[in-house]
Chains A and B, each alone.
Chain A
C-alpha cells in the first residue's frame, strides 16, 4: 500500500522454485527493513475473513497467495 497509489506489486514468484524463493525472501526482508508490516489475508472460517501478521518469510503459509505490506500503526488523531 502506498499513498497516492494504492496497491503496488512488489514482486511475485513460486516459493517452490529456488530462484523465486530467494527473490521473494530478499524482497520480504527489504520491505520489513523499510519499516513496513506484513500480513497475509486468510479465510478464517464460519464465513469470516481475517489476516495473519507475519514477521519472517518462514511464517508465511505455504499456500498463501500474497503478502500485503503496509505502514506500521502509530497513535494518531
Chain B
C-alpha cells in the first residue's frame, strides 16, 4: 500500500513539475533582480541652469543691444524679414522652443507659424534639446543668414495652431509700446508710429 502511494506521489510530482518549474524559475529570477543594485544616476540639478547661463552670454555677445534688451524684458527677439523693396514690411518673433512667428509690422497681423527645431542627435546629456538661449540664437543666426533656407526646413502652419493669437497680438503690442518707451527715454523719434493698437477683448 505504502509503495503504491509513493509511486503515485512520484508520478504526480513528475507531472506537476512541467507546470511548476517555469513558475519557480520566474520567481527566482525576479528575486535576483530585486537584489541587484541599480547603477546610481548622476543627476546634476544645476547643469541646465549653468548651461542656460552660458548660452545667455553667447547670445548676448552676438545680438545687438536692442535685441538683447528685448529678449531680457519681453522674452523674445524680433528679426526683420528680408522681403523685396516696396513690399509690406514683415518681421519674425523668435521665442525659445516655440515656433517662429511671422507678422506684418504695420498692421500687427500674424501671418504664420514656422515650426523649427535644432535637435542634437548625439544627445550628449540624454536630451537633444538646446538650452533656451541657444535655441533662440540658432534661430536668429539661421534667420539672419539664410531666411529662405530656414523657412524651407520649417513646418509652416496657419496662425494660432501652436500659440494663442491673443497672446501673440499682446506680445506685438507690448513690443511696440516697449519701443515707444525706449525711443521716449532717448528723446528720439517714435519708431513704432503706425504700430498696432492694444489687442481688444473681441480678439479673444
Contact = CB atoms under 8 A, between A and B. Distances in A.
B51 to A, nearest CB: 4
Contacts, number: 137
Contacts of B129: 3
A49 B88 CA distance: 22
B111 to A, nearest CB: 16
Chain B residues touching A, range = 35 or more
Given A39-B141, A41-B141, A49-B63, A72 B124 contact: no
Contacts of B126: 4
B57 A7 contact: yes
Given A4-B125, A47-B66, A74-B153, 18 more contacts: A2-B130, A3-B125, A3-B131, A4-B124, A5-B124, A6-B133, A7-B57, A39-B145, A41-B62, A50-B145, A70-B134, A70-B141, A71-B118, A71-B130, A72-B153, A76-B115, A76-B119, A77-B162
Interface of B: 47-48, 50-55, 57-58, 61-64, 66-67, 80, 99, 113, 115-131, 133-134, 137-138, 140-142, 144-146, 149-150, 153-155, 157, 162
